[in-house]
Amino acid sequence: MVDQADSYKAYYHVCTKGDELPWMFKNDNDFIGGVNRIAICLHSQDLVVIAFILMDTHVHFILYGTMPDCKSFINKYKMLTGRWISEKYGMPSYIKDLTFSIIGLKSEEDIMEAIAYVDRNSIMAGYSLLPSAYPWGSARYMFNDSYKYAGNEFSSLKGCSDREKRVILSSRIKVPDYWEFNSEQMINPLCFFNPKNGEQIFRTPIRYLYFLSKKVEGKIDIGLSQGRKSFIPDKELRLVAEDICATLFQGKSLSLIDVKSRLVIARKLRYEYAATHKQISRIVNLSYDLIKGFV
């Protein structure tokens, strides 16, 4: 039997906006720290990274998991990046107001287009190299088995003291000894990213190249410009709401709780799952005006 929690999981495009900051990463050292923070932020989250890219002014991730976990991940990534910038550049509030989007991906085509959009980001930003040559993204690993055998560039953290690990990671979290790092103290992305997850979606290199050649920026940029939206189907969101209800109200179902209690659930659906007011009104069976006025 499938764990009910799995029914809450979906594919999400999680990103920050590219026009809100003049820079997010200034140099290779900043990018290395940015890659390491992905590993650190994933360590305590039940998320799978399908694709990622770090650009000078923003970041993109395609993640598989729940909406709250995606939100927790990007909030933590933003917090740690802000701390890095504060300590290195003396700018404590630089990233404070940076906004992010979490967009649900409904269909297989949506997922493939979003991955291609992320992998194309480097060339669309003016880099002359192919996406597979960009060093701060996942495209270089897609359908490229040679990276399986590049482990001689990396050393295991096993044997490193806690202090050495803190220096390498700029973090006090306890991490697996099998994690590897190179001479520039960058965590091997293959420790937190498995290209097979994306390859299985495309199935063949030809299909991946087809989507990589499509101009998908216009379509996806429209979705991103609309900000936080929910693409969790009503059927799945109703399961989420019933589970929340049972947890908060001694196993009761939605149909047995009062209006005040349903409003509590409505707030959770809005702020933890980014559901729309109309969708919430359907799920908790309350009027749209009441939901919009309360949530």
**Ordered domains of the chain (ranges, CATH):** 4-225 (3.30.70.1290), 234-294 (no CATH)
State which amino acid sits at residue 82.
G
pTM value is 0.80
Which residues neighbour 109 within 8 Å (Cβ) at sequence distance 6 or greater?
none
Cβ-contact 252, 241 below 8 angstroms: no
Percent of the chain with pLDDT over 70: 91
pLDDT at 44: 75
DSSP tag of 266: H
pLDDT interval class at 136 (50, 70, 90): very high
In the predicted model, what is the mean pLDDT of the chain? 87
Distance CA 83, CA 94 (A): 10
Distance CA 187, CA 171 (A): 13
Closest CA to 147 of 188, 202, 199: 188
Closest CA to 6 of 80, 45, 64: 64
Instruction: Write the CA distances from 161 to 21, 41, 155, 168, 223, integer angstroms.
Output: 37, 21, 14, 11, 46
Three-class SS state of 132: helix
Mean pLDDT of the region 166-190: 82
Lowest average pLDDT, out of 75-79, 103-107, 168-172, goes to 168-172
**pLDDT surpassing 50 at residue 2:** no
Three-class SS state of 104: strand
- Could you give the residue ranges of the DSSP H alpha helices within 64-127? 67-89, 108-124
Mean pLDDT of the region 162-188: 81
pLDDT at 7: 54
pLDDT at 173: 75
Cβ-contact 7, 239 below 8 angstroms: yes
Mean pLDDT of the region 176-186: 85
Q: How many Å is the maximal CA-CA distance in the chain?
A: 62
pLDDT at 276: 82
pLDDT at 143: 95
Distance CA 80, CA 74 (A): 10
Lowest average pLDDT, out of 36-45, 115-124, 168-177, 251-260, goes to 168-177
Distance CA 84, CA 26 (A): 12
Distance CA 288, CA 290 (A): 5
Mean pLDDT of the region 241-249: 91
DSSP tag of 90: S
In terms of C-beta density within 10 A (0-12 exposed, 13-18 middle, 19 or more buried), how is residue 226 classed? exposed
Say which residue, 153 or 27, is predicted with more confidence. Answer: 27
CA angle 126, 129, 132 (to 5 degrees): 120
**pLDDT surpassing 70 at residue 147:** no
Q: What is the residue whose two structure tokens read 């194309």?
A: 120
In terms of C-beta density within 10 A (0-12 exposed, 13-18 middle, 19 or more buried), how is residue 282 classed? middle
Closest CA to 38 of 156, 188, 143, 196: 188
Lowest average pLDDT, out of 105-119, 173-187, 190-204, 249-263, goes to 173-187
Distance CA 199, CA 278 (A): 36
Three-class SS state of 20: coil
Distance CA 222, CA 240 (A): 28
Distance CA 152, CA 182 (A): 9
**pLDDT surpassing 60 at residue 230:** no
